Structure 1
Amino acid sequence: MTTADVIVIGGGIAGISAAARIAERGMTVVVLEGEDQLGYHSTGRSAAIFIRNYGNATLRALNAAAAPFMEAPEGVSETSLLSPRGELLVATEDEMPALDKYAAGSSGLDRLTPDEAVDLVPILRREAIAGAVIERDAQDIDVDRMLSGFAKMLRRAGGEIRTGAQVRRMRHGDGLWKVETRRDRLAAPVVVNAAGAWAADVAHLAGAKPIPLQALRRSAAILPAPDGHDVSAWPLFGSAAENWYAKPEAGKLMVSPADEDEVDPHDAWADDMVLAEGLDRYERAVTVPLTRVETSWAGLRTFANDRTPLVGFDAWEPGFFWLAGQGGYGVQTAPALAALTAALVAGEAPALAPDVVTALDPSRLMV
């Protein structure tokens, strides 16, 4: 039996960053990751973009809290995790209400004319654009460097990571959680449920009251750069109606249908029909025909029904901590949520505003 102060279930960016911050406080931490590598599912399939205006008001507060760390990631990297990109949203006439709604709740956006949008992304179909906005401060995230940096921080602080360690049984007694994997038995007074799309399954194993969490598939494909175009300086660009987006990726274009199909947790793959429909929407917005798809994949984005993460102790199960429901915001909010998790686990006052902490509390969805 391995004993620790905290067991973290899930080795994506949420679990690893939270474990690192907890271990910094002198607590013994063991991370259990079911796959053979860290960040295999959602973290490793992220669009890797930091958009300050992405998400609801609570998520935007988390984005703002995470930004200073992303720019100066002390203990994780010697240089910024961010690099310039920008996010350009374009709207047809029918999509203008969606664009106006997004702009009304955002800051740091500039309105663009159709000609200005085409100047930034020359393949956009000028006659289809009724309006456009750009967030110039949107930036690429070096997700690999971020994940590996937090893992190194965790190990430096004495934390342990066990891969291939899918949790099979859990029970609580005598003030301890007893957790079993195929190879190991562990015990700790606190368990952090950072299992991503499998967070509801982990809660079920723990006997916790269920909180509705839904995994949604998000697909993407890599396309060759349009002939004659260097895409490296282009912003991420997409529809204001969120039915497609494209992002420069290593000299090519990553295009997503921005799909959100409800699925059970699994090792996700792209649905050919969904991908084809999304690529058609993209192709109708640009002047260059799609020639071929080089590769495609999918990831899972898991949401609570109010699209706000669950971060906090369970109201009924002692020592059971929720760190789940990050949806498509998990990478960019990880620094803020890791700091909050560590503070709550250690019994410290969180740095986040009280209303943000309350909005994240899982008890809001417990009945």
Structure 2
Amino acid sequence: MTFGSELRQRRLEAHESLADLACRIHVHRTHIQHIEAGRRVPSRALAEAADIALNAEGRLVRAFNEEDEQRQQQAATRRTLAASLATSRDLCQLADLELDELHAGVEETAIDYLGTAPGPMLHRADALRRDALSRLRDYRHGQHQRSDLYVAAGRLSGILAYSALDLGDANAALEHARAAGRCAQQAGDTELLMWVRGTQSLIARFNGDYGIALGYVQDGLHHVGDVPGTGAARLLCGEVQCLANLGDSAGANQTLHLAEQARERVQRPDSLAGLFEFSETKQRYYAASSLIWLDGGDDARTAAAEARAAIASWEQMPPAQRSLDDERLCHIYLATALVQLGEVEAAADAMAPVLSLPVEAQISWINKRAHRVASMLSAPRYRNSSAAEDLKDAIGALG
């Protein structure tokens, strides 16, 4: 429970109005209202005064302390994000990158990313990449390790791009992705370059720039050939998202079929697992996340079926293999399709795991997509639906 919701609960239990409490702790009632809604950060003095005024027996102070610790951790993450950008700019300018013994750390980080919050991953990837640059600058590498250094630094930059995007900073994500692309080109690693183009397209889609996103996809598809992994399927699924957002149902469904064919043609697995592979489950997730942008009907039914299949697949996996953020988002995509089909109560059930998430687990994608569901529930068809109002209120309480 947040400090704001704890404050509201204690105030209501004490039968105090906003005006009553404001008078007792000497602040304006609007300020308390904003704090309860999570729009303003309380001071420690206010928390202590409210705790006494409402006889909360220390509960409000404890809630404040917990949130204050979270804010300090988030501030540390933002500082790391800023510092990591400087390294990405260096990578774009350096002509030679080399790496000695960091491959195991890169592989572990790529896998752990699926089940770990983006903040800790940002810290770990940045530390690994700093070590890579230190080895470069000290020339601590073997004669034939230059390409390996580029690939490792490129993958770490890619992980940082994902971390930045999940934290809501698309501009930082683009800089990290640009550094990853430069590394891939210098290493001559087509597989990594295709992955980077897919990531750049993802960032552009996050910003709503679907024309630019399509350009990244098309550039990536130019490199399809004797390349290991699922890069072509991932790029085509990115194209599906663009076409769906542009309202092209026929094109989106046709390209989904092409993505399935690309997966069937894969002869060699992805060189690195975790964040750098595109599983069949993830492909179903992409199908669901794309078709919900069309006009409902058959597209919504297909989206709901794909979302359910992806969720069921993730639920059967060991925890280390589950992509928790994608799984949570898939619940939102299922709810979106169900709202399009008029099944509001089923949509509320689909959203339930997301609505109970703590604030630190609510990545930027979750908030963006959940609030779209809320806006859909404001349509005239749901004007007299209590279930729609309840779900809107629950989504509004997200961070």
Specify the TM-score bucket, using the shorter chain as the normaliser: under 0.3
**What TM-score results when the alignment is normalised by the length of structure 1?**
0.25
- State the structure with more CA Rg: 2
**What TM-score results when the alignment is normalised by the length of structure 2?**
0.23
1 or 2 for the larger relative contact order (CA 8 Å, sep ≥6)? 1
Structure 1 or 2: larger strand share?
A: 1
